Copies of this chain bind each other. A is one copy, B any other.
Amino acid sequence: MKVSKFGGTSVASASQIKKVAAIVQEDPSRKIVVVSAPGKRFSDDIKVTDLLISLADAALSGNGAEKELQAVVDRYASIAEELGLGDDIIHVIEEDLRGRVAHDKENRDLFVDQMKASGEDNNAKLIAAYFSSIGLEAEYVNPKDAGLVVSDEPGRARALPEAYENLKSLRDRQGIVVFPGFFGFTQEGVMMTFARGGSDITGSILAAATKAELYENFTDVDSVFAANPNVVDSPVEIKRMTYREMRELSYAGFSVLHDEALMPAFRHSVPVCIKNTNNPSAEGTMIVAEREYSKSPVIGIATDGGFSTIYVSKYLMNREIGFGRRLLQILEDEGISYEHTPSGIDDLSIIVRSHQLTPEKEERIMDRCRKELEVDDVHIEHDFAMVVLVGEGMNNTKGLTARATAAITRADANIEMINQGSSEVSLVFGIQNSDTDKVLKELYQEFFSTAAVLGV
């Protein structure tokens, strides 16, 4: 059996939900369907999740939220009407929303979270009703009833080991299970949401728990591309890649599948397929444990901006046992995670995502470096981007770094950082943000032009 997850644009409207139904009908092994909240129908549209955030804010303000509640109900109502469903399902949804608005507001974050999660939850109910209306045997299953037990970490919950035990039996249900993405419940029954990409995570957990033969992730692209199609003209499609490759690509800007979502599938060896709801006959991109290397060692090139560098130097630094550890402790005290730590002999840089920094944090960090570590110099620079070459075939491919650095030089960009030496699957370059597009184009040309793929 397969677990099929449909993202926000795949369930944004009646016509999209009809495509979903057709996809599910077409293959009887599609037994578990995980759905997101209705996404945007057109580029200026408002996602249901955003309508729900407005509703939560209005409810918290104490000045009445009837208008905002009605906006959400109306959205579902228009979908239901177009799907030919009666009023019953809309009453269920409206009832549910009114119950949520009346929810305990002491913890404002949890209040907002339970309101947001209604987007997936009510959409699952609606879609289950639609499936039934067209003669598909289907039922909405609530994560609480199904036993999706998660850790008590609001906004970043993780499934507990017993969740996998509990969810296993979904496999044996009669008919199609329609399951809302994005949330679970603690042992104490408190609703908790997952991190960004939460519905992908739910699908991955269900696929792992039920030992599905395949986890299908339906979205709005035919496949994962080897490079950002907004920068590179018609980049090649990736037909088959490993978990590690997907993980490394999604780290640096490939947003097709949220990286954390891969973990349950990866740990339980369930292959993943990225497919297009709007073009289901397209083969999609398979994500598997192992693959044959193609002739090109590189499978994809990702880029991501928004990095900063904390630079420290101190004469004879590398003689001082504990220096690096104490520096990382300072960052940890500020709650900052770091990406890379390139080092010279007497200097060390720490590369972090810039959004974690504030002028006050930067001041405190620099101050502690001067006072506690007695550094000779410390300063922070912004506006760096990372370019990541990814491919299982890269390990031990002699000359690959030479080709990559030559391409970056042809792009007339300076290499601010290279991190090679740990991962066997990726090679990370730090460049100036403003050089990103020209570097990506030149690297794509180097590794994916016909000559490079067929020749060499």
Binding site for B on A (CB under 8 A): 244, 247-248, 251, 259-260, 263, 266-267, 309, 311, 315-316, 318-322, 324-325, 328-329, 332, 335-349, 351, 388, 396, 398-399, 401-402, 405-406, 408-409, 412-426, 428, 430
Bound form: Cα–Cα A89–B151 in Å: 81
Given contacts A263-B316, A316-B260, A398-B414, contact A423 B328 (CB under 8 A): no
For A398, the chain B residues whose CB sits under 8 A away are 409, 412-414
Bound form: Cα–Cα A335–B346 in Å: 19
Of the candidates A259, A341, A419, A421, the one having the most CB atoms from chain B within 10 angstroms of its own CB is A421
- Copies of chain A in the complex: 2
Bound form: Cα–Cα A202–B185 in Å: 68
| Inter-chain contact A324/B341, CB cutoff 8 Å | yes
Question: What's the dominant secondary structure at chain A's contact region?
Answer: mixed
Bound form: Cα–Cα A338–B318 in Å: 7
Q: Which of B328, B340, B351, B388 contacts A325 (CB 8 A)?
A: B328
| Inter-chain contact A421/B349, CB cutoff 8 Å | yes
Bound form: Cα–Cα A259–B361 in Å: 35
CB-CB nearest in chain B for A344: B423
Bound form: Cα–Cα A324–B327 in Å: 11
| Inter-chain contact B406/A402, CB cutoff 8 Å | yes
| Inter-chain contact A343/B345, CB cutoff 8 Å | no
> Could you list some 8 contacts between A and B, CB below 8 A?
A318-B337, A343-B419, A344-B428, A345-B423, A347-B423, A348-B422, A418-B419, A418-B420
For A335, the chain B residues whose CB sits under 8 A away are 321
CB-CB nearest in chain B for A351: B421
| Inter-chain contact A402/B405, CB cutoff 8 Å | yes
Given contacts A332-B322, A406-B406, A414-B396, contact A342 B426 (CB under 8 A): no
Given contacts A406-B406, A417-B421, A418-B418, contact A251 B345 (CB under 8 A): yes
Bound form: Cα–Cα A224–B211 in Å: 66
Measured CB to CB, the closest approach of chain B to A425, in angstroms, equals 7
For A325, the chain B residues whose CB sits under 8 A away are 325, 328-329, 332
Bound form: Cα–Cα A22–B347 in Å: 42
Bound form: Cα–Cα A76–B341 in Å: 52
